[in-house]
Structure 1
Amino acid sequence: MAMKVEAVSTETIKPSSPTPSHLRNFKLCLLDQLAPPFYVPVILFYSSPDDKVVPNSASITGHLKTSLSEALSPFYPLGGRVKGNAIIDCNDEGALYLEAKAHFELSEVRSNPDINQLQQFLPFSPYRVVPNIEKQVIVGIQTNFFDCGGIGIGICICHKIADAASVSAFLTTWSEIALNGIDGEASLITPFLKASELFQPKDINFQMPYGYGAISKEKLSTKRFCFDGESLARFRARFGSATPTRVEAVTALIWKSTVEVARKRPGWNEKYPPSSAAVHPVNIRSRLRPQPLPENALGNLLQNSVAPMIDANEEVELQDFAAG
């Protein structure tokens, strides 16, 4: 049976306090300018604390909207609009907020997550380029209420101003305000907003053609692989004395497996063997020298780390993929 999600209301949530006029123009840093005009999507699922009692959606929505408004004030660029590829106009136009009804049980999603179905829990498609980014919100939220009383909160934040660490910092602030109020510990959490002083912007007109997407239009298959702690420990032990990190070990396994699958594809050309490389985005905040940046620094403070190329026609051991 198809999982149906129905939007029931849409509104704009503005910051709880106006942005001062001298902070109206927020400069994008150079790394922001090079970021694609997509959105970083996150979906958070919460089971009902009591299966016999369905939470009051009106009360929950009201609390989420109030705390969101408070969180947008210290993260004031998120309540504005991108202008060109240089600044964010911090005009307090606010974030998009949708409430939706999911006419099925949360357990159906958790037991068999499907990438196409998960898109329903987001306020809009995060990967399609729009013709005019200046008219688009920077933050979109969709709160989904399941029949069982569970809740799913889908968040999209524009990649032109935020990477995954930035999204995490904002969600941490929002959640702590929701739990403790603005006068609690959350009042001490404020973003670092000076990345443009370290990575000074340039005159770059970075545009993608309308209709271009981050996800290929080819027929793709998405699968999830779960590794528990015990399995990972046994797997890492197979690498011998040079034990890789968990990320390195799993990356090596996936990399080696994809190369082996590629060799079996029709048309594999051994005369001109293709090369294979693995790429990981790396958070550079703590790695900057001489002065590291705090983890709550807003912006695209990441760089791609590329492992050395591997000749995909050669037999390479698992340890070699981890060493790369």
Structure 2
Amino acid sequence: MEIKVEIIKRETIKPSSPTPPHLRCFDLCLIDQLQPASFISLLLFYSNNTDHPPLTHVKSAEISHTLKASLSETLTRFYPLAGKVKDNVSIECSDDGADYLEVQVNCRLSDILEQPERKLLRRFLPKEIDSSCLLLVQASFFCCGGMAIGVRVSRRLADASTASMLIQAWAGTALGSGEAVLLPEFGVASRLPPRRELSATRSVNEKSAVSRRYVFDASKIATLKAKAASGSVPQPTRVEAVSALIWKCARTVSRPSKLVQIMNIRKRVVPPFPESSFGNLMCLFVAKTGDRETELQGLVIELRKGIEAFTENYASKFQGDEAFSVFGESYKEIDNLYAESIHFIGFSSWCRFPLYEADFGWGKPTWVTVGDLVHKNFIVLLDTRDGGGIEAWVTLSEEDMALFECDKELLEFASLNPRVKN
């Protein structure tokens, strides 16, 4: 059956209260300025389960009204997302609003979850019309009563932590528990001020790349962690073990000698930033290994060294000019990797963010996954619904993927695109 996604309505959701005049200009922080002109994309799928009133008995218009009203309230708290980029230094908080789409899908949610494909999943994300819009939302209603919420938020304002906080605040507002959720803290730019001399960032497009989904069950990760343990790292984390295995298997394909890890720095700097800090608070570190280092234990050690080196060398330098120097070096190293065509692989972990707690009033998500993936040689890690496993979206060139997806050691620990358990 051909799956059709029909747009029923498209509108702009404005904040429920106007932004006060003294907040109309929001300064980007230094790290915001360095982000590409693209979006973080997330998809949350909700089944028509038996623990809540069936969605088939509730008009989609009523559900959509709840989503829109709560989004409007949430935008008052996250007011920069309702504005427009003024220049490479600030956001004009003009209450222009977020783009909202309501669509109808002619299939059951179970048809999508049977074997999720990236090309099909993109259809549940809102398409960009106004290039200046910073937040886009799409509510997709399936004929079985299930639904999907697709969110795209500008990377100029949000990292994974900020995107997760936004979704939690929105869901809490819809559920009527908005007072219990974290409120964003907007003081990052005072400590990491923007630099007017920085040029605008460019968008990234990797049309030749393909993505595959791998799921590591909790029991397999336990075995993998035991295999990856060593005297130097006796207790590797889930993310370290899975990242090292993917790095190891990728080395047999494209031989990436360097691994670029995106790290949330809110709690890793001195003094720490509040957990609810709004914006991009992440840093890149590079783990390196020689051509002979192919053992899992050694790769985990290199990953741990990268984190420890960051803490030792940079944690106390996130103020003013020192911060500019730190990030200048970090991004210069990444630019050199691209310029010199050095094989490397990048990782971003969304694990431990409470995305599976996003209950808008009809239960928690059946499945949460990432949306668009455009970076070649890049991997995104997320929790599975039980919290113990990891879902990895791996994006490689077509040629490399043809070899990577057949790797026996990888398939010993991970399942290639299994059915999402409903």
Shorter-normalised TM range = 0.7 to 0.9
Task: Indicate conservation of the 8 Å contact 1:33/1:204, yes or no.
Answer: no
Structure 1 alignment gaps of length 5 or more: 264-274
Task: Indicate conservation of the 8 Å contact 1:48/1:54, yes or no.
Answer: no
Task: Find the residue that maps to 1:154 and give its secondary structure.
Answer: strand
Task: Indicate conservation of the 8 Å contact 2:32/2:157, yes or no.
Answer: yes
- Is 1:104 equivalent to 2:146 in the alignment? no
The whole-number CA distance in structure 1 between the counterparts of 2:276 and 2:290 is 36
Shift of 1:224: 1.3
**Equivalent residue number for residue 189 of structure 2:** 196
**Equivalent residue number for residue 180 of structure 2:** 185
Shift of 1:252: 0.9
**Equivalent residue number for residue 307 of structure 2:** none
The whole-number CA distance in structure 1 between the counterparts of 2:43 and 2:57 is 21
- Is 1:168 equivalent to 2:148 in the alignment? no
Q: Match for 2:204 among 207, 214, 217? A: 214
**Equivalent residue number for residue 267 of structure 2:** 286
Task: Find the residue that maps to 1:305 and give its secondary structure.
Answer: strand
Give the 3 Å change call, closer, same or farther, for CA 240–123 of structure 1 in structure 2.
closer
Shift of 1:217: 1.7
- Map Cα deviations across residues 148-205 of structure 1 (whole Å, 9 max, x no partner): 10010000001001111001111111111111155x434xx32110110110111134
Give the 3 Å change call, closer, same or farther, for CA 120–206 of structure 1 in structure 2.
farther
Matches within 5 A, 1:1-324: 1-50=1-50, 53-124=56-127, 133=131, 136-180=132-176, 184-186=179-181, 189-207=182-200, 214-218=204-208, 220-241=209-230, 242-262=234-254, 276-289=257-270, 291-311=271-291, 314=292, 316-324=294-302
Task: Find the residue that maps to 1:191 and give its secondary structure.
Answer: coil
The whole-number CA distance in structure 2 between the counterparts of 1:181 and 1:62 is 17
The whole-number CA distance in structure 1 between the counterparts of 2:146 and 2:98 is 23
Q: Which runs of 4+ in 1 moved over 2 A?
A: 49-55, 204-209, 239-243
The whole-number CA distance in structure 1 between the counterparts of 2:2 and 2:287 is 41
Task: Indicate conservation of the 8 Å contact 1:12/1:95, yes or no.
Answer: yes
Task: Find the residue that maps to 1:261 and give its secondary structure.
Answer: coil
Give the 3 Å change call, closer, same or farther, for CA 190–239 of structure 1 in structure 2.
closer
Root mean square deviation of aligned Cα: 1.9
Code of the residue aligned with 1:29 in structure 2: it is C
The whole-number CA distance in structure 2 between the counterparts of 1:61 and 1:53 is 13
The whole-number CA distance in structure 2 between the counterparts of 1:251 and 1:80 is 37
The whole-number CA distance in structure 2 between the counterparts of 1:196 and 1:317 is 42
Shift of 1:287: 1.1
The whole-number CA distance in structure 1 between the counterparts of 2:250 and 2:47 is 35
Percent identical among aligned pairs is 40
Task: Find the residue that maps to 1:101 and give its secondary structure.
Answer: strand
Aligned residues: 296
Task: Indicate conservation of the 8 Å contact 1:169/1:295, yes or no.
Answer: no
Task: Indicate conservation of the 8 Å contact 1:191/1:297, yes or no.
Answer: yes
Structure 2 alignment gaps of length 5 or more: 303-422
Give the 3 Å change call, closer, same or farther, for CA 52–27 of structure 1 in structure 2.
closer
Task: Indicate conservation of the 8 Å contact 2:10/2:99, yes or no.
Answer: yes
Moved more, 235-244 or 152-161: 235-244
- Map Cα deviations across residues 12-68 of structure 1 (whole Å, 9 max, x no partner): 000010100010000001111111110110111100124694431011000110000
Shift of 1:215: 4.0
Task: Indicate conservation of the 8 Å contact 1:48/1:55, yes or no.
Answer: no
The whole-number CA distance in structure 2 between the counterparts of 1:11 and 1:75 is 19
Code of the residue aligned with 2:150 in structure 1: it is G
Shift of 1:207: 3.3
What TM-score, normalized by structure 1, do the two folds share? 0.86
Task: Indicate conservation of the 8 Å contact 1:102/1:147, yes or no.
Answer: yes
Task: Indicate conservation of the 8 Å contact 1:54/1:148, yes or no.
Answer: no
Task: Find the residue that maps to 2:206 and give its secondary structure.
Answer: coil
Code of the residue aligned with 1:207 in structure 2: it is A
Task: Indicate conservation of the 8 Å contact 2:289/2:299, yes or no.
Answer: no
